[in-house]
Chains A and B, each alone.
Chain A
Amino acid sequence: MANFVLTNAYLSVNAVDLSAKIISISVPQETAMVPNATMGVTTQASLPGLLHWTIEAELAQDFAAGQTDATISPLWGAAAFTIETRPVNAAVSATNPKWSGSAVVASYTPIAGAVGDRAVARVTFESAGALTRAVA
């Protein structure tokens, strides 16, 4: 596939498909930069340390059963659950990989917006285990 427009991303939170609620989504992955300089070098070199990932999403808020709030609110402060995202809401493939892992809710904003705005929810899922990229 070539470059593409995000029109149909996929997000599953604790086995609930919230794809239709996605306004924006990102999947930043980081590794800790552990200082590795020793005497005799002139550059602050680093080693890869612990991995850390988040999935950050802005979702259209919906308080109906099985929708945005009913899915995320019970996970706030709860045990880790499975989360999965894909660039396109279609079968996983070599050109539509999935990222999945065990996560917890790090922050959840159930109500946000000004008068007249669409009600949105903002949520950040934090790593509770490894993030796995798969193509099948």
Chain B
Amino acid sequence: MANYVLTKPKVYLHGYDLSALLRSIGGLVLTPAPVDNTTFGVGTRTHTAGLSGVEFTADGFSDFAADKSDTALTASFAVAGRVITVGPETGAAGEISYAFQALQGTYQPFGGSVGDMAAFVLSAGASGDWVRGTMLENGSFSATTNGTARSLGAASATQKIYAALQILSGTGTVGVRIESDDGAGFASPTTRITFTSASGRAAEWLSLAGPVTDTFWRAVITITAGGPFTIAVMMGIR
């Protein structure tokens, strides 16, 4: 894609779609801490990459109705292991997506001057790992679906496959798993990651240690009762 204007990014916080409430995303900042490794005999201070960090900030318009901003942000405030998924373009299946295990460290439920839109502010850091990957599927699903096969590469022995699931709405019973295969036709798929079966709004972060030599990946959504479910599932290899 070319340069683009931020008009339709998607932000999901542990089963809640905040996208339509946000007015700005202050940034999804990956911060590999530089560690000084300067030694005698060099003329320039040198660094190597240390632990990587994640900082996410956003603000939007307060909404105290059920399942809106205050519900989502109150539930996640000061709780480790929440799942944040960001689709920086439009969040559509096949696009780049970031996800991480989050600790929402700041929440301002409302604020502003008289006459302003009441605004919330949130910031979050990592409480676990992060990954840059691909949105496997994102949409409404009424029936069991084998997702689109995507060529995302193999995972080496030093890498992990990370996956983030966001079930944004729906009632019934739904299961989501991630499969791999050595061909786009998925003639002999292998289940790599299986999310916990859900009956409604939910989110989960799972990982699998490499190696996996298969290079094609897909999400499989199994609805055994009810539906439709609105689901966003991404994966990445890191």
Contacts and interface: CB of A to CB of B under 8 A. Distances in A.
B126 A43 contact: yes
A32 B118 CA distance: 25
B141 interface: no
Contacts of B111: 24-28, 56
Contacts of B118: 3-6, 87
B21 A3 contact: yes
Interface residues of B, number: 42
Contacts, number: 131
Nearest to B79: A48
Contact of B65 (A27, A29, A95, A99): A95
B53 A44 contact: yes
Nearest to A31: B78
Most buried by A among B52, B74, B110, B117: B110
A15 interface: no
Interface in B32-55: 33, 51-54
Nearest to B112: A6
Contact of A47 (B62, B103, B109, B117): B103
Contact of B103 (A2, A25, A48): A48
A87 B119 CA distance: 10
Given A2-B63, A28-B108, A30-B105, A46 B126 contact: yes
Contacts of A42: 51-52, 129
Contacts of B51: 37, 41-44
Contacts of B107: 28-30
B155 interface: no
Interface string A36-56: 110001111111100100001
A112 interface: no
Nearest to A24: B113
Contact of A5 (B79, B109, B117): B117
Contact of A1 (B64, B101, B125): B64
Given A3-B21, A3-B62, A96-B64, A31 B115 contact: no
Contacts of A96: 64
Interface string B134-161: 0000000000000000000000000000
A95 B65 CA distance: 5
B204 interface: no
B116 A87 contact: no
Given A5-B117, A46-B80, A27 B109 contact: yes
Interface in A92-123: 94-97, 99
B46 to A, nearest CB: 20
A33 interface: yes
A4 B109 CA distance: 13
B70 interface: yes
Contact of A23 (B104, B109, B114, B128): B114
21 contacts: A2-B63, A3-B21, A3-B61, A4-B117, A6-B117, A26-B111, A27-B110, A41-B51, A42-B52, A42-B129, A44-B33, A44-B53, A44-B126, A47-B103, A48-B78, A48-B80, A48-B105, A51-B78, A94-B64, A97-B64, A133-B74
Given A2-B65, A31-B78, A94-B66, 13 more contacts: A3-B21, A4-B118, A9-B114, A24-B111, A31-B104, A37-B51, A43-B54, A43-B129, A45-B129, A47-B127, A48-B80, A48-B105, A87-B62
